[in-house]
A and B are shown apart, each in its own frame.
Chain A
């Protein structure tokens, strides 16, 4: 049956936006696969729309460095000086705006040169650091990408035979492009997580490493003895907690728990009845402006809801209303206390 290209384009744009802007649910993925399978022109239109969508990131980054982003925000048609390829300006831009500009920074330089210089592909080592409250997206040279949560430091080293990420501290989410020849390894603390093509996150705290797999499967290896495989297969919706001593526990999570744990990638924190004290701890991890709970009874109250991780004032206000508390801004942070008269 002949279908008009216009119609197909319109469906393709919907799918391109959905699949690039967020993770598809299993049903949606199945629906997309069926749609793609139905007609080669669906695949063509989807490829074209996806490419155009990704290309917009490049343009956004260009405009970001040329000041156009501000012009856009003010909706004043205005073009500024020559676009620069240097992404360094991004550090001074506000946190959220900075994150994707950084992410595309590397690819931008390449696009402007027209081709990827060979040395860049064969071996390069890059250090990526996210500041407090920053969530940083990094597109890697092989098509993989990683997202760094607040206060994270990751060193990426690629060569012909290896793809290695050294996660010195913090938390990272990795979407690994398949490459059976070059395993993708995240080293942190006492262990390494080895993957071929999969999606997982790794969180390193003082004496513990948390590995959560959302797609595919990874292998956990002892850093002091690479032959020592701690666990051959950690699969989708499984989470391993590994102590320094290599003692580890594996827990099965349901889908909603996995996506809740990964909400930070969207700058969102999801609380489902944790105590206010815990929730505030998590908020404080993301912000230099801290929240202080002055009352132990209040601190024990449960918090439910979704919050922007970088908005402590919004969190405090919402929680204050929900728990009948008062939120008071002081020099040392935002204080939450029981409302007077209660």
Chain B
């Protein structure tokens, strides 16, 4: 609980850029499989676990820097990227600007996405989620209301959160423009694949 402020900071300043980072990885480090990217992202958040976040003014740049360092470390350990790619990674440029307003996910798009996610949930699960987040009932109240165990409520909520996290992974695709769709050239083409 003492970490609420950190969680909030990550929610506000880091989560919005995860999609862009993933898209960037897909575009530039072709040897990474989707699950390699998932691993990298977890590692990146792990670095944020203990960092003194209040000093970080540019969270987006910081996130990219972490990813780049992780790629280099992994390359040195040859866990993911072959050695000859080291030089390439070192030359990879971090996109220097934030995506323009047209490419950033708007609140409206976020809501639409959330709505789609909610609509796709199994019925009981959807109900528990709605009661929690939109009616602001506590877990115990939901359990009473739906006449199910609190543990079950937790399971439903975890399923819903899992879908939200999956949706985050897709972020870089839609609103931010697909890699192939010819964006404004924020990113230098260093990858050779």
Chain A interfacial positions (CB closer than 8 Å to B): 4-6, 8-10, 13-14, 16-19, 21-22, 40-41, 43-45, 47-60, 62-64, 66, 68-69, 71-73, 75, 77, 79, 82-83, 96-101, 107, 110-112, 139, 142-143, 145, 175, 177-178, 197, 199, 265-268, 306, 308
Q: Could you tell me if A14 and B158 are in contact, using CB atoms closer than 8 angstroms?
A: yes
Q: Could you tell me if A16 and B161 are in contact, using CB atoms closer than 8 angstroms?
A: yes
Question: Taking the nearest CB of chain A, how far is it from the CB of B36, in angstroms?
Answer: 9
20 contacts between A and B (CB under 8 A): A4-B35, A5-B38, A6-B38, A17-B161, A41-B43, A43-B45, A43-B49, A44-B48, A48-B15, A51-B8, A52-B15, A59-B114, A63-B111, A79-B111, A79-B115, A97-B135, A99-B136, A139-B4, A177-B2, A197-B2
Q: Kindly identify which residue among A10, A18, A60 contacts B162, using a CB–CB cutoff of 8 Å.
A: A10
Q: Could you tell me if A51 and B135 are in contact, using CB atoms closer than 8 angstroms?
A: no
Stretch in B82-90, B125-133, B174-182 touching the partner: B125-133
Q: A16-B161, A40-B49 are in contact. Are A47 and B10 (CB under 8 A)?
A: yes
Q: Could you tell me if B11 and A59 are in contact, using CB atoms closer than 8 angstroms?
A: no
Q: Could you tell me if A96 and B165 are in contact, using CB atoms closer than 8 angstroms?
A: no
A105 to B121, CA, bound (A): 27
Q: A4-B35, A13-B158 are in contact. Are A54 and B45 (CB under 8 A)?
A: no
A51 to B63, CA, bound (A): 15
Q: Could you tell me if A96 and B136 are in contact, using CB atoms closer than 8 angstroms?
A: yes
Closest CB pairs A-B (n = 7)? A143-B5, A44-B46, A44-B45, A51-B10, A5-B38, A100-B136, A266-B138
Q: A17-B161, A177-B4 are in contact. Are A56 and B138 (CB under 8 A)?
A: no
Q: Could you tell me if B139 and A21 are in contact, using CB atoms closer than 8 angstroms?
A: yes
Q: A6-B38, A83-B107, A145-B4 are in contact. Are A97 and B164 (CB under 8 A)?
A: no
Q: Could you tell me if A68 and B111 are in contact, using CB atoms closer than 8 angstroms?
A: yes
Contacts of B155 in A (CB 8 A): 14
B6 CB–A CB distance under 8 Å:
yes
B102 CB–A CB distance under 8 Å:
no
Q: Could you tell me if B108 and A79 are in contact, using CB atoms closer than 8 angstroms?
A: yes
Question: Taking the nearest CB of chain A, how far is it from the CB of B183, in angstroms?
Answer: 22
A58 to B114, CA, bound (A): 12
Contacts of B158 in A (CB 8 A): 10, 13-14, 16-17
Closest to A100 in B: B136
Q: Could you tell me if A69 and B134 are in contact, using CB atoms closer than 8 angstroms?
A: yes
Question: Taking the nearest CB of chain A, how far is it from the CB of B159, in angstroms?
Answer: 8
Q: Kindly identify which residue among A5, A22, A50 contacts B7, using a CB–CB cutoff of 8 Å.
A: A50
A318 to B58, CA, bound (A): 56
Q: A40-B49, A75-B126 are in contact. Are A21 and B141 (CB under 8 A)?
A: no
A17 to B154, CA, bound (A): 7
B25 CB–A CB distance under 8 Å:
no
Closest to A2 in B: B39
B118 CB–A CB distance under 8 Å:
yes
A177 to B6, CA, bound (A): 11
Q: A22-B139, A73-B134 are in contact. Are A44 and B35 (CB under 8 A)?
A: no
Beyond A54-B11, A139-B4, A267-B137, 7 extra complex contacts between A and B, CB < 8 Å: A5-B35, A50-B3, A51-B11, A56-B133, A82-B108, A267-B141, A306-B140
B173 CB–A CB distance under 8 Å:
no
Question: Taking the nearest CB of chain B, how far is it from the CB of A111, in angstroms?
Answer: 6
Question: Taking the nearest CB of chain B, how far is it from the CB of A342, in angstroms?
Answer: 29
Contacts of B73 in A (CB 8 A): none
Contacts of B136 in A (CB 8 A): 60, 96-101
Q: Which of B31-88 contact A (CB under 8 A)?
A: 35, 38-39, 41-49
Q: Could you tell me if B42 and A48 are in contact, using CB atoms closer than 8 angstroms?
A: yes
